[in-house]
A and B are shown apart, each in its own frame.
Chain A
Amino acid sequence: MMRATFILGYLLLALVRISWADGGAIQFQGDAGTFHVTVFTQPPILHAGLIDVTLLLQERSDLNPLLDAKVRFDLAAQDGAARQPAPWMPPACAMNKTADLSDIPAKLGHGENRLLYGSVLQIPNSGHWQLRARIQRGTESAEIETLLNVAPAPLPLLAYWHLFLLVPAGILGFVLHQMARGRRTHPVAAR
Chain B
Amino acid sequence: MLVLVLVFGALTNAAGMIAPIATLVSQAQTAFDLPRPAVVALFLLIGMVLIPGLLVLGTGAASRQSGKISVPLTQLISDFAMTLVPLGFGVWIAHLVFHLFTGSHTPIPVIQRVAYSLNLPFFGKPDWSIRSWAFPQLLDFEIIILEVALLGSLYATWKVARRYGTATGRSWLVFAPWSLLDLLFFVVAIWILFQPMDMRGTMMS
Q: Which of A's residues lie within 8 Å of B, judged by CB?
A: 17-18, 50, 88, 90-96, 99, 120, 156, 160, 163-164, 166-167, 170-171, 174
Q: Whole-angstrom distance between the alpha carbons of A95 and B19 in the complex? A: 12
Q: CB distance A167 to B150 under 8 Å?
A: yes
Flag B125-156 by CB within 8 Å of A: 1 or 0 each: 00001011011111110011001101100110
B102 interface residue per 8 A CB criterion: yes
A interface: dominant SS? helix
Q: A163-B143, A167-B151 are in contact. Are A90 and B138 (CB under 8 A)?
A: yes
Within 8 A of A (CB), among B156-205: 158, 186, 193-197, 199, 204
Are the CB atoms of B144 and A160 closer together than 8 Å?
no
Residues of A within 8 A of B89 (CB): none
Query: Which of B102, B144, B150, B195 makes the CB contact (< 8 A) with A92?
Result: B102
A156 and B194 form a contact (CB under 8 A): yes
Q: Tell me how far the C-beta of B74 lies from the nearest C-beta in chain A, rounded to whole angstroms.
A: 29
Contact status A160-B139, CB under 8 Å? yes
Considering only CB atoms, which chain A residue lies closest to B17 in the complex? Answer: A91
Q: Cβ of B98 and Cβ of A91 under 8 Å apart?
A: yes
A97 to chain B, nearest CB (A): 10
A96: which B residues are within 8 A, CB to CB? 102, 131-132, 134
Does A166 lie within 8 Å of B147, measured CB to CB? yes
**Cβ distance A49 to chain B, nearest Cβ, rounded Å:** 8
Q: Which 9 A-B pairs have the closest CB atoms?
A: A92-B134, A90-B139, A92-B138, A166-B147, A170-B151, A96-B134, A50-B136, A163-B143, A91-B197
The answer to whether the Cβ of B123 comes within 8 Å of any Cβ in the partner chain is no
CB distance from A53 to the nearest CB of B (A): 13
Instruction: Please pick, from B101, B140, B150, B155, the residue contacting A160 in the complex, using a CB distance under 8 A.
Output: B140
- Nearest CB to that of A14 among chain B residues? B144
**For A99, what are the chain B residues with a Cβ–Cβ distance below 8 Å?**
129
A54 to chain B: closest CB distance in Å? 15
User: Is the Cβ of B196 less than 8 Å from the Cβ of A94?
Assistant: yes
> For A92, what are the chain B residues with a Cβ–Cβ distance below 8 Å?
98, 101-102, 134-136, 138-139
Closest Cβ of chain B to A101, distance in Å, is 15
Measured CB to CB, the closest approach of chain B to A119, in angstroms, equals 12
Q: How far is the CB of A14 from chain B (nearest CB, A)?
A: 9
- Cα–Cα, bound, A174→B144 (Å): 18
**Which residues on the A side are within 8 Å of B197 (C-beta)?**
91, 94-95
Q: Tell me the nearest residue of chain B to A93, going by C-beta.
A: B136
Q: Please name all residues of chain B whose beta carbon is closer than 8 Å to the beta carbon of A171 when the two chains form the complex.
A: 151, 154
Cβ-defined contact, B140 with A91, below 8 A? no
Instruction: Look across to chain B and name the residue whose beta carbon is closest to the beta carbon of A166.
Output: B147
Which partner residue on chain A sits nearest B190 by CB separation?
A: A164
Q: Is there an interface contact between A91 and B196, defined as CB atoms closer than 8 Å?
A: yes
Given pairs A96-B132, A156-B194, A170-B147, 4 additional interface contacts (CB within 8 A): A90-B136, A91-B197, A171-B151, A174-B158
Task: Give the CA-CA distance A156 to B194 in the complex, in Å.
Answer: 8
Interface centre among B131, B147, B148 (most CB of A within 10 A): B147
* Residues of chain B within 8 A of A163, CB atoms compared: 140, 143-144, 147
